[in-house]
Amino acid sequence: MIAEKNNSPDATPKITIHTLGSFEICRNNECVYLPSAKSTKLWDLFKFLLANKGMGMPPETILENLYPDENYENPKNTLQNLVYRLRKLLNGEEIFSNYGCNILFSNGCYSLYIPDDIALDTDIFEQYLHEADIHKYECLQKTADCLEKAISLYRGDYFPELVYEDWVIPKRNYYRRLFTQAVNDLTNIYKQKKEYDDSIRICEKAIQIEPYEEEFHISLMESLIEKGKISEARKHYGYITSLLYKQFGIKPTVEMQRIYHTLKDDRYKIDNGLTIDEYVEDENKGGAFYCDPKVFRSLFIIEKRRNERANEPVLPVSFNFEGKDNSDINANSSIFIEFRKFLIKSLRKGDVVTTWNDRYLLVLLPRIDYKGVRVVTDRIIKQFQSNYNCSDFDIKVKFHTFLP
């Protein structure tokens, strides 16, 4: 188990070296030392040895990684000089000299000695994740607690100031991957427990650190939807899709499109002020059953199986609008929405309607043959055209023997 910090006055001060989000040295959560910019080369050597803690590094390997563009006639002497200066710097700083932090040389290799009194944020980060993994099959709350603590330690990239150093990239990606997985695991736990406020809180915190991680945004929007905050979810969808396109030219992925179709679903009647309960109540008053495409597909399969014995076809019907200038009218247009309402109201309770995609409405009319389906669709279109100005578009109807 991970020992909690002892904050009593008699406790030995705990030194922690932070590398995630910034490089700084803290005692009891207060920053007590920031490396000087004048000693950048020496601190880069310290960071390299710290990243390879517990491993002996040959002089050639150190110089190749830290100074790849410089040629040294005598690499060993060059590094000896740097090590000497780094040891002098560490011994001159009370925070290091009091704890015995030093550079060791053995078998032609250098290594950094970090005593047990000095903690590394990366070690604690991984320990909490290990604890979370142990409890995941036993106690979700303990798992969540450990993940919360791990996520709180991750404040950003590993050694973020080393922007152009290739040697830091593998570890940076490693800790970023652990952080991403921890956030996803924790939000999944909160969603499983229906604690959506906590899921939203974690997602918003994670997005501040990794603003382009799509999974965080998807999880945030899912939690907002579950909380009934549809307007906020829609605004966030517009924000993130616009950001990804402007920054990287990336169009919405399949998962993002799934969120988009969910937000368009008429179950979420935010625009006309209906709550979900009010919508369900209103749905019972009459008209066709409106559902999402997945439910529609399931109902279609059931109806198809039911009709197989009688050898009768199931004929889903698609409706779409086409402008007089051959332009398509999508599902967000007012005329599309009005026709969908009219269609649902005009059909029987046993009929099924869905917005199949951005252009099409799909209708299932059980136990009606082709001739009967044609009569129903013609009647609905004529009635709609008599009530609405349809001079700028045509309503196209198509009969299918399978789902498009």
User: What Rg, from alpha-carbon coordinates, does the chain have?
Assistant: 32
pLDDT above 50 for 273: no
pLDDT above 60 for 279: no
- Please compute the mean of the pLDDT values over residues 53-59 and round it to a whole number: 88
Q: What was the pLDDT predicted at 76?
A: 78
Better-scored residue on pLDDT, 246 or 276: 246
pLDDT above 90 for 150: yes
The percent of residues above 90 in pLDDT, for the chain, comes to 33
Among 17-26, 70-79, 164-173, 345-354, the least confident range:
70-79
Angstrom distance (rounded) from CA 173 to CA 178: 9
pLDDT above 90 for 261: no
Q: Are strands 317-323 and 30-33 parallel, antiparallel or unpaired?
A: unpaired
What residues does each domain of the chain span?
A: 1-193, 279-399
pLDDT above 60 for 92: yes
- Please compute the mean of the pLDDT values over residues 46-64 and round it to a whole number: 90
3-state secondary structure of 365: coil
- Please compute the mean of the pLDDT values over residues 287-297 and round it to a whole number: 85
Q: What was the pLDDT predicted at 48?
A: 94
CATH fold group of domain 1-193: Arc Repressor Mutant, subunit A (1.10.10)
- The answer to whether domain 279-399 has CATH 3.40.1380.10 is no
Q: What was the pLDDT predicted at 268?
A: 55
- Per-residue confidence band for 196, with pLDDT thresholds at 50, 70 and 90: very high
393 neighbors 321 (Cβ within 8 angstroms): yes
- Please compute the mean of the pLDDT values over residues 4-10 and round it to a whole number: 39
Q: What was the pLDDT predicted at 220?
A: 96
Better-scored residue on pLDDT, 75 or 290: 290
- Per-residue confidence band for 245, with pLDDT thresholds at 50, 70 and 90: confident
Task: Give the N- to C-terminal CA distance of the chain in Å, as an integer.
Answer: 56
121 neighbors 17 (Cβ within 8 angstroms): yes
381 neighbors 317 (Cβ within 8 angstroms): no
DSSP 250: P
Among 71-85, 127-141, 375-389, the least confident range:
71-85
Among 71-75, 203-207, 283-287, the least confident range:
283-287
3-state secondary structure of 380: helix
Among 28-37, 124-133, 224-233, the least confident range:
28-37
pLDDT above 70 for 175: yes
Better-scored residue on pLDDT, 232 or 116: 232
pLDDT above 60 for 12: no
Among 108-112, 242-246, 328-332, 358-362, the least confident range:
328-332
pLDDT above 90 for 368: no
3-state secondary structure of 16: strand
105 neighbors 134 (Cβ within 8 angstroms): no
Indicate the average pLDDT of the chain.
83
Q: What was the pLDDT predicted at 184?
A: 95
- Please compute the mean of the pLDDT values over residues 377-392 and round it to a whole number: 85
Better-scored residue on pLDDT, 89 or 328: 89
CA angle (263, 267, 273) in 5-degree steps = 90
How far apart, in Å, are the Cα atoms of 277 and each of 228, 269, 283? 11, 10, 10
- Please compute the mean of the pLDDT values over residues 120-127 and round it to a whole number: 95
pLDDT above 80 for 72: no
Q: What was the pLDDT predicted at 328?
A: 62
Better-scored residue on pLDDT, 324 or 276: 324
